[in-house]
């Protein structure tokens, strides 16, 4: 009598994971997964792996309740790597994670009285905060790299071994260290971009921010300029001046970032008017800003010297309006810069101008105090402006077109001071990180970034 025995075919890692997690897992074709890969997917969470994903032994992927992890095509993940999401982690196509890389998109919140009102001495009593981690296509993370919550690694970036990346890294950049910083750039290959970073920048102020100029397309088309002595028709108005030039400077310096610039400057506006503009903007658009530049006061003072008493705003009312705007803007703006007003130029006789500037200086001092009380930066352009006027050869009045509005040279002084402040405080670099939010708020706020990686209705 002959007996035969059959051994069931060995189940692959992919088959095991599909059986364990069902629709919570989207798994592409031709993936190379180790038998000991640990995958934990909580209810309401989703893990998506693209085609030809390779993961080496000893690695763990955790997708906590409601979160999403999306790993693109042709991603390679080394041994003993740990990936844990409470909000969302995106790893772009062709990215490479070496051995013992750690990605956590969340932190324990501080064990403060607010976060632990019951005073519980248990590990998770204070709750969690989180923000997405985005690793763009083609990026490479070397051995033992740690990526913290809210960080974006640019396309093709190369992060050196043992680095701790707590700030976003630009594309085509070599970064090393603790904390990791970029040391050099290179000519990277073109890669697809997913949900590129956009910074929303708001300007609230007077005509010095608005800076309208007459526009005719022919006037700016180098190949079709009008003949000298000919006439052109004004076709409209465009905002130029230092705000326009700063916008161009930001876009040139940070070409991989989109800047949504909203200039709400208004000619002739007092602090009373600008407070209304801030209120109306929030009520009608609901815009959250990454950075706001706020400046006012010159018209508050000027109206009094013009005899337009009903339109003038005294210092007490000015301070009240400015404080109110800072209170409101602080609720939905990540960084606020209060800009001092520029001094009056030769708009009246010298004694009157001296009196006007003495009064305007009091408003600027109040603005500096209000900014400090709200944790906003204060940019004092008064001192460099008066220094430039004092030392300017040939035409000391060359900073003003009419004693109030600025020439291109005056605009350049403002531009330089603003760029210096941005660089000194590394404002743009810090704003590139995704803001940390309480865990549940973060899931709601960042859900649109990961919607396409989840099944319909999930």
pLDDT digit string, tens, across residues 242-272: 999 999 999 999 999 999 999 999 999 999 9
CATH number, domain 198-431, options 1.10.1740.10, 3.30.465.10, 3.40.50.1110, 3.30.1010.10 = 3.40.50.1110
Mean pLDDT of 142-163: 97
Q: Look at residue 3 in the predicted model and tell me its pLDDT.
A: 52
Query: What span, in angstroms and rounded, lies between the C-alpha atoms of 17 and 21?
Result: 6
Of residues 160 and 8, the one with the higher pLDDT is 160
Residue intervals of the chain classified under CATH 2.160.10.10 are 13-185
Q: Are strands 258-263 and 198-204 parallel, antiparallel or unpaired?
A: parallel
Mean pLDDT of 396-411: 88
Structure confidence by residue, pLDDT tens digits, 419-429: 999 999 999 99
126: pLDDT confidence band, cut at 50, 70 and 90? confident
Q: Look at residue 236 in the predicted model and tell me its pLDDT.
A: 79
Q: In what order do the strands lie in the sheet with 289-294?
A: 258-263, 198-204, 289-294, 333-339, 377-379
Q: To the nearest whole percent, how much of the chain has pLDDT over 70? A: 97
Other Cβ atoms closer than 10 A to 229:
5
Q: In what order do the strands lie in the sheet with 146-147?
A: 38-41, 60-63, 82-85, 102-104, 146-147, 164-165
Structure confidence by residue, pLDDT tens digits, 46-69: 999 999 999 999 999 999 999 999
Q: Look at residue 1 in the predicted model and tell me its pLDDT.
A: 46
Task: Spell out a b/e string for 211-224, using b for 16 or more CB atoms within 10 Å of the CB, else e.
Answer: beeeeeeeeeeeee
Mean pLDDT of 416-440: 95
Mean pLDDT of 93-98: 97
Q: Look at residue 5 in the predicted model and tell me its pLDDT.
A: 56
Residue intervals of the chain classified under CATH 3.40.50.1110 are 198-431
Strand, coil or helix: what is 341?
coil
CATH classification code of 13-185:
2.160.10.10
Of residues 339 and 347, the one with the higher pLDDT is 339
Q: Look at residue 212 in the predicted model and tell me its pLDDT.
A: 77
């Amino acid at each position: 009598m002959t007996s035969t025995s059959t051994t069931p075919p060995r189940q692959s890692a992919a088959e095991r994971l599909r059986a364990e997690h069902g629709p919570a897992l989207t798994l592409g074709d031709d993936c190379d997964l180790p038998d000991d890969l640990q995958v934990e997917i909580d209810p309401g969470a989703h893990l998506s792996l693209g085609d030809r994903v390779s993961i080496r032994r000893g690695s763990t992927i955790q997708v906590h309740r409601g979160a999403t992890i999306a790993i693109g095509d042709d991603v390679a993940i080394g041994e003993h790597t740990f990936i844990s999401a409470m909000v969302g982690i995106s790893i772009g196509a062709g990215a490479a994670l070496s051995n013992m890389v750690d990605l956590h998109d969340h932190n324990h919140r501080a064990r403060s009285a607010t976060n632990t009102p019951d005073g519980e001495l248990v590990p998770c009593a204070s709750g969690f905060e989180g923000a997405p981690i985005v690793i763009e296509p083609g990026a490479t993370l070397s051995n033992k790299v740690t990526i913290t919550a809210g960080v974006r690694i640019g396309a093709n970036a190369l992060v050196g071994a043992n680095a701790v990346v707590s700030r976003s890294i630009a594309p085509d950049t070599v970064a090393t260290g603790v904390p990791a910083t970029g040391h050099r750039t290179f000519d990277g290959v073109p890669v697809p971009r997913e949900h590129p970073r956009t910074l929303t920048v708001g300007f609230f102020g007077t005509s010095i921010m608005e800076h309208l100029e007459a526009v005719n397309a022919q006037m700016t088309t180098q190949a079709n300029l009008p003949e000298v002595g000919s006439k052109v028709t004004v076709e409209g108005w465009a905002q130029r001046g230092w705000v326009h030039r700063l916008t161009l400077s930001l876009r040139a310096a940070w070409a991989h970032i989109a800047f949504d610039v909203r200039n709400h400057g208004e000619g002739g506006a007092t602090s009373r008017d600008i407070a209304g503009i801030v209120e109306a903007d929030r009520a009608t658009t609901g815009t959250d800003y990454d950075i706001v530049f706020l400046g006012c006061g010159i018209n508050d003072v000027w109206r009094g010297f013009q005899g337009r008493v009903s339109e003038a705003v005294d210092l007490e009312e000015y301070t009240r309006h400015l404080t109110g705007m800072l209170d409101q803007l602080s609720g939905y703006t990540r960084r606020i810069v209060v800009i001092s007003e520029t001094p009056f130029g030769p708009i009246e006789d010298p004694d009157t101008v001296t009196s006007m500037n003495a009064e305007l200086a009091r408003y600027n001092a109040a603005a500096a105090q209000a900014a400090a009380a709200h944790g906003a930066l204060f940019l004092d352009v008064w001192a460099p402006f008066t220094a430039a006027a004092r030392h300017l050869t040939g035409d000391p009045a060359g900073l003003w077109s009419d004693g109030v509005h600025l020439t291109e040279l005056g605009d350049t002084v403002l531009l330089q001071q603003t760029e210096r402040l941005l660089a000194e405080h590394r404002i743009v670099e810090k704003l590139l990180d995704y803001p940390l939010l309480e865990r549940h708020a973060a899931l709601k706020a960042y859900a649109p970034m990961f919607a396409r990686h989840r099944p319909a209705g999930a």
